[in-house]
Chain A
Amino acid sequence: MSAPRRVAVLKGGRSLERSVSLRSGAQVQDALGGLGHEVIALDVGETFVPELIERDAEVAFVALHGRDGEDGTVQGLLEALAIPYTGSGQAGCMRATDKVLAKLLMREAGIPTPPFHALREDSIKELGAAAALERIKQDIGLPLVVKPAKGGSALGVKFARDAEELPKAMVGAFSYDRTILLERYVRGRDLAVSLLEDPGDSSGSGVMALPIVEAVPREEEFYDYESRYEIGMTTFVCPAELPPETTARAQELAVRVYELLGCHGLARVDLMLERDTEKLWVLETNVVPGMTETSLLPQAADAAGITFEELVERILASAFSR
C-alpha cells in the first residue's frame, strides 16, 4: 500500500451535476479514509483555491463532475498550484469534454462516431445558420439526437422524432450550452467501457479496459434526464452479455479513444452497439466518471475483482504517474 497522504477530495461545485458529485465525493472520502489517508473534503466554490492552499493538500482527487471539474478548469488551477491531481490533464479534459472537438478528432482518426453537425447559437442569430437546417436534417436523418456540446449526464439531451420536434429540441439543448450537436440516432445497445490506468501493465499502453457495463433502460427507448439518475429506472448489466469478439472490439475502440484524446488515470467511454449491423459507434468520453453506488465505473471495477478501495487507490496513484 502506498504511504498515507493528505488528499483533497474535490466535489460538489456549481454545475447541474453537483448532487451526484457530492455523492461521488463522499464515497471516495470513505474509501480514502479506510486506506489510511488524511482526507480534506472540499466542496468546490468561492473559497476553493484559498482553501486548497491553506489546507496544504499533497494531492487532489477530482470527483467534481460537470463544469469546472471536467473541462480542465480545476486541472489548470491545480497545475498553477503545483498540486498533483488524479485523472486527465487540461488538454485531455478539454478534448474529451467538448463533444464537438472530441468527435472531430475521432473522425479524423477514423474512429467511428455517429454523423453530426454542430451549431452555435450565435451563428443562428448572426449568420443565418437556420437556413442550413434543411440540409442538416437530410444529411443526418430523423429521428435525431440533439445535445449540448458540453454538459454531462443526460441533462439537455433531447430527442427529435420528426422535423416538427427539432426546433423545440434545439432550444432546449441551447439552455445548457451555446453550442449544440445534432447527431444521428443510433438504435442499439448502450455500452460503457471503463478504463483504468494499469501500473503493472508493461505492454506499453498502460491502460486497462474493465468489463463492459450495459445500461438497459426499463421503459424508455431513450435515456432522458429523468431516467439517468433514477434508481430503478435502469438495469445495469455487468459484464454485458456480448459475444467475446464484440467485447474485445468495444474495449479496443475505447482504448484507442482514450489515447487519442490524451486521457490519463481513468475515463469512461460510452458506445452504442448498433442493432442489426452490430457496428460500434463512440458517443462520448467522460473524464470524471461517477463514483456513486449506481455508477458504472465502480460496477465495472467490481466485476474485474477490484474493490472500490483498490479502485480509489489506483486512481490516486495516477496523480503521480503523469
Chain B
Amino acid sequence: MGKPSRTGPEGRGTRPAAHELARYEALFATRTKGMKSSAMREMMALTERPDVISLAGGLPDTSTFRAERFAKLMATVAAESTARALQYGPTEGMRITVDSIVEVMAAENTLVDPENVIVTTGGQQVIDLVCKTLIDPGDVIVAEAPTYPGAVPTFSAYQADVEQIDVDDEGMPIDELERTLDRLAAEGRRPKFIYTIPNFQNPAGVTMSLPRRKRLVEVARERELLVLEDNPYGLLRYDGQALPTLYSLDAESLGRAGATDLVIYLGTFSKILSPGVRLGWAVAPRPVLEKLNLGKQGSDLCSSPVTQMFVAAYFGERARGGRPAWEEYVDSLRELYSHRRDVMLESLEEHFGDSARWTTPRGGLFVWATLDERIDTTDLLTLALKSDGVAFVPGRAAYMDGRRGSSSMRLNFAGVPEQDIREGIRRIGRGVREQLGLLGTLTGSPATAPRASGKQGGKASQGPQEPMADVVKLPRREGSRGARRSGDR
C-alpha cells in the first residue's frame, strides 16, 4: 500500500505542496471552475445506504428485466458476432442500432431519416455534445424551471448562462418564453438553444400541452432558434393520449417527413430497456449532426459495440403472437409504474396533507412535491436520512443557481416496490409534520398541522385532528426504526 521508502533528508514523497496546487489551479480550464462540488451532492451519496428507502434515484426498476433473457441475448451476440462486438465501431453508431432507434421513434409516431441519427453513450452524452458544439462561455440556454438535475452540471461546465422559466401544469408557458426571448433580444442576446423535456418532465412530472408544443415550434421557427427536445419517458405513458413530439411537429410544419432543421431530438434506451446499456441517440439537422459526431469522436471514438449488438439482438426478439418483445416489455413497465404512481399519489394524500401540493404525472417516473415555503428540503433530507431512513432529491438540484426550488422535492415512484413507496412517503411525512409543528410553535401560531388522514385505517391512522402539542408528542409506533433515542443526534 505504501510506496517504497526513501531514506535520508532528500527522501521526500512526490505529493505537491499546497501552493503548487494553486499553481495548477490557475491552469485548470476556467470551465472546470464552474463544476461545483456541492455539499448537496455529497449528501446524496449518503442516500445509497441499504437501510435507506430511496425515492431519490432516477432509476427505473431493472429487476424487471429477467436474468435468463439477459444471458440469452448476450449468448446470441457472442455466438453470432463476437468479432464485430469486440471491435471499434463507427462513431455515429452501427446501422443495426439505428434501425432499432427508428423503430422506437416510430412507436412515438415520429418518422426519422436514419441519416440524421447518431448513436450516443446514453442520453446524457447528447446534452454534453450539444453544449460542446454550441456553447461558448456566457452563451444563453433557455430551460424549464425546474429542469433535469443532470443537465445542471453540464450547463455549468460549459459556463452557459441559463434562463429558467417556471413551468405550470402544462409545462413551459410559451408566452413567458416569448417575454424572456424579447427581454434577451433587447439586451442583444439570443439563446443558442431552448432545452425542454416535454413528456412527464424530470423532475416536475408535467407534460407540455399540444397547443404549447405547436406554439413552441412556431416561435422557434419565427426566431430561428434551436430546440433540444429531451424525451426519455415518451413511451411510459399511463393515461391520456400520446402527444406528438416537437420533432414531428416541426417536420410536419415543413411539409417534410423525417427531417427538421430546428429540433434536436434526444432519446435513450435507459428507461425502456436499461440504463446499464448506456445507449442513447440524437436526431438532428445534418450540419449539427456532423459537428456532434466530430465532438463524439474526440470524446469516446464510438459507443460500445458490445452494447449495440445486445440492443439489436433484443430488438430482434419476438414475443408470443409475433409482437416485438421490446414493446411487450414496455407494456409491462407501464402497468407496473402506473400502479406505483397511484400508490405514491395515495400515500402523498395520506401523509403530506393540506400544506403541500404535488404534480400528478400522466407518465414517467417522478412526482414533484412542494411543501410550505418555510421548509428547506435540503435540511429536511438530512433529517429524513438520519431519523427515518428515506431519501428524495431536494428541489435545489433542479435549478442552476441551486437556490430556488428550496421547498420542493423530486420523488421517484418507479424504482422501488409498492410497500417501500408507502413507507417512504410515510417517513417523509413524519419529518414534514415535525418541522411544521416546530415552525408553528416558533411562530406562536400552532395552526393546523397537516394531519395524516388515516385512510389506511389500522396503525396508520392518527385519528381526528389533534392539538399541536399532542401531535408532536405521539409515541413512536412500531419498531425502533423510527424511534428517536435521546442524544441520538
Interface residues of A (CB under 8 A from B): 1, 4, 14, 16-20, 27, 29-41, 121, 124-125, 130, 133, 150, 153-156, 166-168, 170-178, 225-226, 228-233, 293, 298-299, 301-303, 307-309
Contacts and interface: CB of A to CB of B under 8 A. Distances in A.
Cβ-closest 5 pairs across A and B: A34-B13, A36-B5, A33-B2, A232-B33, A175-B379
B45 interface: yes
B441 interface: yes
15 contacts: A16-B43, A34-B14, A36-B2, A150-B489, A156-B382, A166-B442, A167-B442, A168-B376, A175-B435, A176-B382, A231-B33, A299-B18, A302-B17, A302-B18, A303-B19
A17 B382 CA distance: 12
Interface of B: 1-7, 11-19, 21, 25, 33-40, 42-43, 45-46, 374-376, 378-380, 382-383, 402-403, 435, 438-439, 441-444, 469, 472-473, 489
Contacts of B2: 4, 32-34, 36-39
A293 to B, nearest CB: 5
Contacts of B35: 231
Nearest to B14: A34
Contacts of A230: 36-38
A172 B33 contact: no
A226 B39 contact: yes
A121 B438 contact: yes
Contact of B379 (A30, A176, A226, A231): A176
Contacts of B33: 231-232
B489 A124 contact: no
Contacts, number: 151
A64 B15 CA distance: 21
Nearest to B376: A172
Contact of B441 (A41, A125, A175, A228): A125
A26 to B, nearest CB: 11
Contacts of A130: 441-442, 444
B295 to A, nearest CB: 25
Nearest to B374: A168
Given A36-B4, A175-B379, 10 more contacts: A1-B11, A19-B42, A34-B15, A154-B39, A168-B376, A170-B442, A176-B379, A177-B489, A231-B25, A232-B34
A24 to B, nearest CB: 13
Nearest to B380: A175
A16 B42 contact: yes
B34 A33 contact: no
Nearest to B444: A130
Most buried by A among B3, B12, B18, B35: B18
Most buried by A among B11, B25, B42, B469: B42
Contacts of A14: 46
Contacts of A166: 442
Given A1-B11, A231-B37, A308-B18, A125 B1 contact: no
A30 B442 CA distance: 49
B445 to A, nearest CB: 10
Contact of A124 (B14, B374, B442): B442
A146 B4 CA distance: 49
